[in-house]
Chain A
Amino acid sequence: MTAVPAGRPTAVPLRVRLAARGIDGTTMLVVPALLAIVALFVYPFVYGLVLSLQPKVGPFTASYRTFFSDPFLRETVWNTLVLAIPTTLLNILLAVPIAFRVRLMSNQRLLTTILVLPVTLGTVLVAQGLLTYLGPQGWFNRTLLALHVIGAPLKLTNNYWGVFASLVITGFPFTFLLTLSYVSGIDPALEHAAATLGAGAARRFGRIFLPLLVPGLAVTFCLSFVQAFAVFPSAVLLGAPAGSTHVISIAAYQAAFERYDASLGSAIAMVMGAVQLVVVLLALGARSLFYRGPVGGTKG
């Protein structure tokens, strides 16, 4: 692309050589945004890591040791996993069959718009609404009582189940819309071919769709899990923040901004990141055990 006169390769100016590798004025447009993210995201993360290794007192691992030796703090990892993994799995289990039906609908816009609502409104509003709705006098308990499903109101707020409900309500739409985009990406011709050869609905799902969906579901699981693992406002407002829903983000927040132990706060944030990373790696590792390849039905 650069017209270099033969025999004089050393005379090529730096500008031209850089442009040949794809670096010119246009490329430099990426710099401001990149600097902003490095300064506001990468640097604080490294700073937090260093800070977590500089405790107020004791050796450099003291903050981590505090976290893992105090049962009240250590149990937050378990409390959070017990909330995040079941809700994520439930959301995926619900999302897959529904996505299979919705993919056949001609007008999906109304349903997807309704489902985008809780994602947009966010966890604070959902928590506030659920406090009344699931409360002992709320419509949920009233309806169940009126239908004689239960004899006495269920206690669904200020405990595990309140947070569980809020994670399902805010998490399901997110999981569903991701799943829907993966399900719609599978060529319907594959299903038609299987049906022509006499496969029933269950076999078409098990033998055709599921293997093609597993990679997408693994990514969906990771993204939904990571969001659920960072649950914060609903665990405070709708759960028992000192008890069963004392989740890891509450511990990190309290350490950093209520006890002003920035080192411990950063250490807990790092542990939170590490647990997320481990679960994501496990999920992606499990994915590699399954089929990987094109989901289109055409040659190629």
Chain B
Amino acid sequence: MIRDTGIGSKLWRTAVWAVVVVFVLNLLALIATVVIDSLSTRWLGTWLPAGFTAHWYADAWDEFGLTDVLVVTFQVVGAVVLISGALGVTAAYALARRDFPGKRAATLVFLLPLLVPPLTYGIPMATLLYRVGLGGSFAGVVLANLVPAVPFVVLVMIPFIEQIDPRVEAAARVFGASTWQLFIRVLLPLLLPGVLAALLLVLVRTVAMFELTFLTSGPTSQTLVVALYYAVFASGVRAGQEVDVMAVVYMVTTLVWLLLALRFVNPTQIVARAKTQGAH
């Protein structure tokens, strides 16, 4: 490693770390503000609230119907994870194992939904879903959320599948395994860590996916993040603490899965859609 020892380098190094510290402090303070406010009796014009209470949690839970919202959220997320897993893993297997005409075009079709922001394609998509009568329904929300989820599973799974030696599959065939046995006994155990990682990331991303759910959901198909948006949007109607309770519930829901996901994957994978850009 190269050591620069001049006074300029030291100052520069200090300045860079200072920026990191300021950023992280602001971020943590922002999260702490939400958590503390949700627990405060009254917090106006002081450093810390006048007192602490947990009663806002009970109030907000009833007021926002959080049980229903959470149930809907997990139904949507569960459906998206299962469908995108089934579609994505099979497609990734074909893309990893075969070289066929039109493969580049197929890859591009899978890449585009990850590069175009959801709001850009969400508006025509939601319009179409409303025209065919799926707008505002549970099915519409699931379909909309599949658009970023399926390509994400495909692109995360391709390298995992490429790592598996095709000769392992050939050996299983030689010993007389049927396609189904090959899949259950050989591929699935080898792919399980990759599938688990991909699906956990889809889960985290779907819980946090605001735009598509916002555009396609109706009153009975709102997920937590959309309910939170409406609560903030209409803040002033209710006590600010209740909105923050909702934010904390959302934060906990996301973070539990994030921490679980981080046990299996590198944090950079959550944003590294651009890894696939290496092909340029």
> How distant is the Cα of A13 from the Cα of B150 in the complex, in angstroms?
34
Q: How many Å from the CB of B137 to the closest CB on chain A?
A: 15
The reply on B7 being an interface residue by CB < 8 A is: no
Q: Is the CB of A122 within 8 A of B27?
A: no
How far does the alpha carbon of A174 sit from the alpha carbon of B45 in the complex, in Å?
34
Residues of B contacting A: mostly: helix
Q: Contacting chain A: which of B11-19, B50-58, B69-77?
A: B11-19
Q: Are B125 and A129 in contact (CB under 8 A)?
A: no
CA distance A126 to B255 in the complex (A): 14
Interchain CB contact under 8 A, B98 and A37: no
Selected interface stretch from B60-68, B114-122, B170-178, B191-199? B114-122
Bound CA span A227–B151, Å: 17
> Are B251 and A125 touching (Cβ within 8 A)?
yes
List residues of chain B with CB within 8 A of the CB of A98: 16, 19-20
* Residues of A close to B255: CB separation below 8 A: 117, 120
**How far apart sit A105 and B123, CA to CA, in the bound complex (Å)?**
43
B233 touches A113 (CB 8 A): no
- Chain A binding surface SS class: helix
Say yes or no: A121 contacts B98, CB within 8 Å.
no
B190 at the interface (CB under 8 A from A): no
Contact of B262 among A29, A113, A172, A266 (CB under 8 A): A113
The answer to whether residues A139 and B29 also contact, given A30-B106, A129-B247 and a CB cut-off of 8 A, is yes
The reply to whether the CB of B270 lies closer than 8 angstroms to some CB of chain A is yes
Q: How far is the CB of B95 from chain A (nearest CB, A)?
A: 6
Q: Does A69 contact B (CB under 8 A)?
A: no
Q: Contact between B121 and A232 (Cβ–Cβ < 8 Å)?
A: no
Partner of A119, one of B31, B44, B147, B270: B270
Q: Which of B44, B115, B275 has the most CB of A within 10 A?
A: B115
Indicate if B271 sits at the interface (CB-CB under 8 A).
yes
Q: Is the CB of B228 within 8 A of A125?
A: yes
Interface string of B1-39 (1 = CB under 8 A from A): 110100001001100110110011011111101100100
- Given A174-B271, A230-B120, check contact A40 B143 (CB 8 Å): yes
Chain A residue nearest in CB terms to B110: A37
Chain B residues, Cβ within 8 Å of A173:
271
Task: Establish whether residues A178 and B272, one from each chain, have CB atoms under 8 Å apart when the complex forms.
Answer: yes
Does any Cβ of B come within 8 Å of A101's Cβ?
Answer: yes
- With most chain B CB atoms within 10 A of its CB, the pick from A114, A124, A130 is A124
A26 touches B118 (CB 8 A): no
The number of residues on chain B lying at the interface, defined by a beta carbon within 8 Å of a beta carbon of chain A, is 95
B215 at interface by CB-CB < 8 Å: yes
- Interface flags for A18-57 (1: CB within 8 Å of B; 0: not) read 0001111011111011101110111111011101000000
Q: Which residues of A contact B180 (CB under 8 A)?
A: none
Interface residue? A81 (CB, 8 A) = no
Q: Which residues of B contact A119 (CB under 8 A)?
A: 270-271
Give me the 7 closest cross-chain CB pairs, A-B, nearest first.
Answer: A48-B124, A230-B117, A33-B91, A22-B100, A30-B94, A44-B125, A29-B94
26 CB-based A-B contacts, threshold 8 Å: A22-B101, A23-B101, A27-B98, A32-B90, A37-B110, A48-B124, A94-B19, A97-B19, A114-B27, A119-B271, A121-B250, A122-B210, A124-B225, A125-B225, A128-B243, A138-B33, A177-B270, A180-B268, A181-B268, A200-B4, A223-B274, A230-B119, A232-B119, A237-B232, A257-B215, A269-B120
Could you list which residues of chain A lie within 8 angstroms of chain B, going by C-beta atoms?
Answer: 21-24, 26-30, 32-34, 36-38, 40-45, 47-49, 51, 94, 97-98, 100-101, 104, 109, 111-133, 137-140, 142, 169, 172-174, 177-178, 180-181, 191-192, 195, 200-201, 215, 219-220, 223, 226-227, 229-230, 232-233, 236-237, 249, 252-253, 256-257, 262, 265-266, 268-269, 272-273, 276
